[in-house]
Structure 1
Amino acid sequence: MIIKNRLERTNFEKVKAGLAPAFTLQTWMNILAVILGAFLFSIGVNLFMIPGNLGDGGVSGLAIIILYAFDISPAISTLVLNGLLLIVGFRFLSRRGMYYTIFAVIMMSVFLGITESWFVQTNEVMLNVIFGGLFLGLGNGLVIRIGATTAGSAILGRIAHKYLDVKIANAVLIFDLMVITLGLTVLTIEQVLLTVVAMYINVKVMDFMIEGMNPKKAITIISKNPEMLGKLINSEIGWGVTMMNGKGFYSREENDILYVVINKSKLTRLKRLIQKYDEEAFVVVNDVNSVLGSSFV
């Protein structure tokens, strides 16, 4: 801890003295992700949701309701409403995340204004539903993935995730459904139901962007010959393996358990290797949301 604090202090002093860049490559990549996410989000709202006479969830949904009812531009209403939510969110989210979120809110309002006159002419409302949900999910997912939000229900979703241990996508869906229900004041039941479908697509795409882009799988292997399998995984697949101590609950027999986090592309090869040398091995494959560090062979 002392070493870490010294390093952080040294880095800060270097930045302050102008010896180190204040913006790293990762910072610039995050900024680009926010800009792209805000643009895709605006495309979803202005080119598909509004032309299809559909609603939305969160602040953008409230902005669309205000548009339908009072003809006020979503670029203005989203900026005002999100500003109020940012005041609340500043108390609950990290300062780094809030900086990115403020930037995302500004970019989203800017792009909503720029794309306000854009439209895609379609004669099939389901195209608006599908592509509207797709672009909203891509935009939200890109921004949330780097630790920011597009404010609105997304910021409430991060608060719920932090304190209630609820998946961000599920929390956002709940808040969005509340706003969609309010949309019954300006939309027909059919339009609201179509909006729900679009929001479902939005959540699934966002969930994939946040948690499903990591091409990793975690494999737990219980074998009678773990030593041999571990060496084969090292030599034939070239991947690191962790060996853990285990004990059968019923038999009380102690046995080593292999644990591997591997690229999805090598999963089939690993399964074949296990089946070839130990057909009775018990194998469990789990999805991995995030991986930090390196593989050790």
Structure 2
Amino acid sequence: MNFDKRKLSINPKVTQQTLINILTIIVGSFLFAIGVNSFMIAGNLGEGGFIGISIILYYAFDISTALSNFILNSLILIVGFKFLGKRAMYYTIFTVPMTSLALWLTETWQVQTDEILINTVFGGLLIGTGIGLILRVGSTTAGTTILAKMANKYMDVNVSYALLFFDLIVITIGLTVMSLEQVLLTVIALYVATKVMDFIIEGMNPKKAITIISEQPDTLGKLINTEIKRGVTIMDGRGFYSKEDKDILYVVINKNQLTRLKRLIKKQDENAFVVVHDVNSVLGNYFI
């Protein structure tokens, strides 16, 4: 019996950007760990996701969050690694032990305050910043991220909604070791973390993509060029019912320009059909 010999090779090429991404993951992991240990656990609060389960185990059985976090995330990574892209998988394999190491090194870092809202806000702020940095470079923290992707594939559930669902389950389980007040404060911290995470991922000036169907495409295109100072792409379209050919305008703008653009469109053509899309990433700066 003959077997084909296959050579397995690992590309040793490491770019400067790769090193920056690794450093970003390290910084993000420590910010995340400080938020968990110094503020959330110090205030007897919880969290969502697998770190929330780790905190519950810590409160109930005094199991180290670093150890339980590593075991839980490693198990789900082994089961669901195929749901991550190649790049995300490699970074996640580094991120999981890195976050656990950071949790272990900062276990004794406790910030004791008389005002629980300080723990809530700053805990959410640091956790959101840490996870945001990790996600921004293309990595994940495994955990509920992989579960959400699995739910999306097999049950056609939106990833964001799936993440929220799993977080709510974890927070609800937290009622077994926390009071209702502490659980509600955890929800506030989770909201703060989510908003900060979105800010870190999208950047200081997130983009919006606008699709415009109007009877005055040329006029609107010129106004967007001159008033909004953005390039506009004209695409060919055709109405399904009317069978009429139409010019469709497509433009990407900064979020803070959206209100102004809407006013401009409404002033010129009240009957224009406008769709606003969230944009996760924009590469290049072409004036199309």
Query: TM-score normalised to the size of structure 2?
Result: 0.80
Across the aligned residues of Structure 1 and Structure 2, the Cα RMSD in angstroms comes to 3.2
Look up the match of 1:186. 177
Separation in 2, partners of 1:262, 1:81: 41
Look up the match of 2:113. 122
1:199 to 2:173 alignment: no
Counterparts in 2 of 1:28 and 1:245: CA distance versus 1, 3 Å? same
Q: Residue type matched to 1:67 in 2?
A: Y
Given that residues 212 and 289 in structure 1 are in contact (C-alpha distance below 8 angstroms), is that contact kept between their aligned partners in structure 2?
A: no
1:151 to 2:142 alignment: yes
Which residue, out of 92, 110, 121, partners 1:101? 92
How big is the shift at 1:55?
Answer: 1.7
| Residue pairs, 1:179-258, within 5 angstroms | 179-210=170-201, 215-234=206-225, 238-246=229-237, 254-258=245-249
Look up the match of 1:32. 23
Given that residues 234 and 248 in structure 2 are in contact (C-alpha distance below 8 angstroms), is that contact kept between their aligned partners in structure 1?
A: yes
Look up the match of 1:92. 83
Structure 1 gaps of 5+ residues are 1-12
Please list the CA deviations of residues 99-146 of structure 1 after superposition, one character each: whole Å capped at 9, or x if unmatched: 211211111111112211112221111222222222222222222233
Query: TM-score normalised to the size of structure 1?
Result: 0.78
Look up the match of 1:47. 38
Given that residues 209 and 279 in structure 2 are in contact (C-alpha distance below 8 angstroms), is that contact kept between their aligned partners in structure 1?
A: no
Look up the match of 2:278. 288
Look up the match of 1:132. 123
Given that residues 216 and 269 in structure 2 are in contact (C-alpha distance below 8 angstroms), is that contact kept between their aligned partners in structure 1?
A: no
Given that residues 120 and 189 in structure 2 are in contact (C-alpha distance below 8 angstroms), is that contact kept between their aligned partners in structure 1?
A: yes
Given that residues 217 and 285 in structure 1 are in contact (C-alpha distance below 8 angstroms), is that contact kept between their aligned partners in structure 2?
A: no
Pick which of 139-148 and 211-220 moved more.
Answer: 211-220
How big is the shift at 1:206?
Answer: 3.1
- Number of equivalences: 279
Look up the match of 1:76. 67
Separation in 1, partners of 2:197, 2:183: 20
Look up the match of 1:3. none
Look up the match of 2:3. none
Given that residues 50 and 144 in structure 2 are in contact (C-alpha distance below 8 angstroms), is that contact kept between their aligned partners in structure 1?
A: yes
How big is the shift at 1:49?
Answer: 0.7
The percent identity for this pair of structures is 60
Counterparts in 2 of 1:163 and 1:41: CA distance versus 1, 3 Å? farther
Separation in 2, partners of 1:166, 1:214: 29
Q: Residue type matched to 1:199 in 2?
A: L
